[in-house]
Amino acid sequence: MTTQNLTLLTDFYELTMMQGYFHSKEENTPVVFDIFFRSNPSGGGYSIAAGLEQVIEYIKNLNFSYEDVDYLRSLNLFDETFLQYLSGFHFSGSIYAIPEGTVIFPREPLLKVIAPVMEAQLVETALLNIINHQSLIATKASRVVYAADGDGVMEFGLRRAQGPDAGLYGARAAMIGGCIGTSNVLAGRMFDVPVKGTHAHSWIMSFPDEYTAFKTYAKLYPSACCLLVDTYDTLKSGVPNAIRVFREMREEGIELKNYGIRLDSGDLAYLSKKARKMLDAAGFSDAFISASNDLDEYLILDLKNQGAAITSWGVGTSMITSKDCPAFGGVYKLAAIQNADGEFVPKIKLSENTEKITNPGNKTVHRIYDKETGKLLADLICFVDEVFDESKDLLLFDPVETWKKTKLKGGTYTMRELLKPVFLNGNCVYQSPTVMEIAAYCRKEKETLWDEVTRLFNPHKVYIDLSKKLYDVKKELLDQMSIQE
Ligand SMILES: Nc1ncnc2c1ncn2[C@@H]1O[C@H](COP(=O)(O)OP(=O)(O)OP(=O)(O)O)[C@@H](O)[C@H]1O
Ligand SMILES: O=P(O)(O)OC[C@H]1O[C@H](OP(=O)(O)OP(=O)(O)O)[C@H](O)[C@@H]1O
Ligand SMILES: O=C(O)c1cccnc1
């Protein structure tokens, strides 16, 4: 698969700012930018990081081709010395990121760029574009998979995704979020994930009758035979014809494996219960019942509450578009600038809204677990050079509501640093796992969450706290800002 050069996939202002930096004394000043997001999609209690592998491909392929430079020249805004610089451009900075499939929370840096200001500025747009999309769909898929409660969820959204890229990378993200397969064949090939599917109504309609359509399909695919039973009348025609075909196959000595029916319209709870009874009575209790039709996590949960006899779910539109929450909201904010002594000077962005005030400095994130249960207790954002001793007590406090404090007794918790080096001085030092490995890791990650965090409605908020040192620096910067005003 050829990798696309996406160097011009950026907002125009990144380039105009770059030219400005290029002609200033500080053109090569190293800076720190953080990517973080402000709230979990769909009112959930957590999100899933995704997209890092595509970020790596993008960074590795960053270079302005002759045609790119010619195009920029034609805009009559960039001078020749800057265009010359662009033609020799490559990324020389460092990137740290939380690995894909990790459970993430609002306000913590999930990716950090440390690079000369021009380079760090250029990559903002594409990085956000990639991370925002895949993290959104991985999170949505994780919610759908949660509702399915152990049943398989197939990703069926390509035809309704917002274009080919959203379909492809959405399928990748949905697999990370926990789907068992996708109908998207190119995604299957590109990401080495299982491709799955049934057949369309058109298959049935193209035969003289439903029975012939079913029989032809079952003979072709006896080891993956899912018959769509709702083209004419689900209970009067579809299910009886499916049973007839299953019976004939058995009589002909053709072993059916992994076989069943799909419902795609009508009252899915009612129809599935009736169909289950009919299949069981005919001796096909191992036949599965799958369902599709504008499903999402809420409908699946509701259908389960109604006792629907469905054990396999096909989900398209709502998952691939994250219909109820179409944007992840990740942002890229300047956090520090290196001074002449090589130290990173923390920078802060003020806002009327306390929650929107950024966290300054060159930071990292530690995840804190309860030693006994292995469950996640809190995340701690701190400066990179801070050292913690798990045998000592740890005071955690909410960065906004600072009176909310928790003291963890030394020896009762463990800590794990989340941000991992991905590029160091321009060199990639990270090997992406396969998508299926990421998906397995993601499943394990979710096991560290308390049930109160994973529920779909009004989940408990995980504490995302600041170290005392970071809190003090932030407060000092805020105080200085208010004096200047
Ligand atoms: N028992 C149920 N409880 C809640 N929602 C359901 C139930 N059964 C189906 N739905 C959902 O209701 C929505 C609308 O279903 P409806 O039956 O109106 O459409 P349809 O059967 O596709 O209609 P049409 O036959 O015109 O295609 C779908 O999102 C479907 O998943
Ligand atoms: O409902 P979604 O969650 O988006 O899932 C995908 C839908 O796509 C197909 O319908 P479509 O009408 O496109 O084709 P069909 O004629 O094969 O049913 C399929 O039958 C599902 O209903
Ligand atoms: O294979 C299927 O059943 C399928 C694929 C795409 C969309 N809807 C259904």
463-466 and 376-383 beta bridge pairing: parallel
HSE value, Cβ hemisphere, 13 Å, CA-based, for 68: 18
Give the atom of ligand 1 at the shortest distance from the alpha carbon of 295: 31
pLDDT in tens, 207-221: 999 999 999 999 999
Which residue's C-alpha comes closest to atom 9 of ligand 3? 156
Contact 316 CB / ligand 2 (< 6 Å): yes
CA of 293 to the centre of ligand 2 (A): 6
Contact 20 CB / ligand 3 (< 6 Å): no
Contact 316 CB / ligand 3 (< 6 Å): yes
The closest of 304, 276, 285, 293 to 151, measured between CA atoms, is 304
Contact 323 CB / ligand 2 (< 6 Å): no
Contact 295 CB / ligand 1 (< 6 Å): yes
* Per-residue pLDDT, 1: 44
CA of 225 to the centre of ligand 3 (A): 13
Residue 483 pLDDT class (50, 70, 90 cuts):
low
Average pLDDT over residues 393-408: 84
The per-residue pLDDT of the chain, averaged, comes to 95
30-36 and 111-116 beta bridge pairing: antiparallel
Contact 156 CB / ligand 3 (< 6 Å): yes
Q: What is the percent of the chain where pLDDT is above 70?
A: 99
Per-position DSSP letters for 63-119, written without gaps between them = ---HHHHHHHHHTT-S-HHHHHHHHT----SEEEEPPTT-EE-TTS-SEEEEEEHHH
pLDDT in tens, 109-132: 999 999 999 999 999 999 999 999
Give the atom of ligand 1 at the shortest distance from the alpha carbon of 306: 1
Q: Check pLDDT > 80 for residue 400.
A: no
What residues form DSSP beta bridges with 464? 379
Give the atom of ligand 3 at the shortest distance from the alpha carbon of 228: 3
Contact 299 CB / ligand 1 (< 6 Å): yes
Contact 181 CB / ligand 2 (< 6 Å): no
pLDDT in tens, 314-343: 999 999 999 999 999 999 999 999 999 999
Helices H, strands E: what count in the chain?
Answer: 17, 21
CA of 372 to the centre of ligand 3 (A): 44
Torsion angle, CA of 268/274/277/281, rounded to 10 degrees? Answer: -130
d(CA 71, CA 84): 13
d(CA 195, CA 187): 8
pLDDT in tens, 405-446: 889 999 999 999 999 999 999 999 999 999 999 999 999 999
Average pLDDT over residues 350-375: 92
d(CA 30, CA 22): 13
Which residue's C-alpha comes closest to atom 1 of ligand 3? 197
CA of 294 to the centre of ligand 1 (A): 8
Per-position DSSP letters for 133-192, written without gaps between them = HHHHHHHHHHHHHHHHTTSEEEE--GGGSSSHHHHHHHHHHHHHHT-SEES-HHHHHHHT
Contact criterion met (CB below 8 Å) for 226 and 261? yes
CA of 283 to the centre of ligand 2 (A): 29
Contact 317 CB / ligand 1 (< 6 Å): no
CA of 300 to the centre of ligand 1 (A): 12
For residue 182, give both structure tokens. Answer: 């996708």
Residue 453 pLDDT class (50, 70, 90 cuts):
very high
Give the atom of ligand 2 at the shortest distance from the alpha carbon of 160: 4
Contact criterion met (CB below 8 Å) for 49 and 137? no
Give the atom of ligand 2 at the shortest distance from the alpha carbon of 199: 17
pTM beyond 0.95: the answer is yes
Contact criterion met (CB below 8 Å) for 262 and 199? no
Average pLDDT over residues 188-202: 98
Q: What is the percent of the chain where pLDDT is above 90?
A: 91
CA of 91 to the centre of ligand 2 (A): 43
Q: Check pLDDT > 60 for residue 484.
A: no
pLDDT in tens, 62-87: 999 999 999 999 999 999 999 999 99
Residue holding tokens 């490559």? 90
Contact 5 CB / ligand 1 (< 6 Å): no
Contact 197 CB / ligand 3 (< 6 Å): yes
Contact 288 CB / ligand 3 (< 6 Å): no
Domains defined along the chain, listed by start? 12-137+331-484 (3.20.140.10), 197-258+267-288 (3.20.20.70)
Cβ-count burial of 340 within 10 angstroms (0-12 exposed, 13-18 middle, 19+ buried)? exposed
HSE value, Cβ hemisphere, 13 Å, CA-based, for 132: 18
Residue 401 pLDDT class (50, 70, 90 cuts):
confident
* Per-residue pLDDT, 266: 98
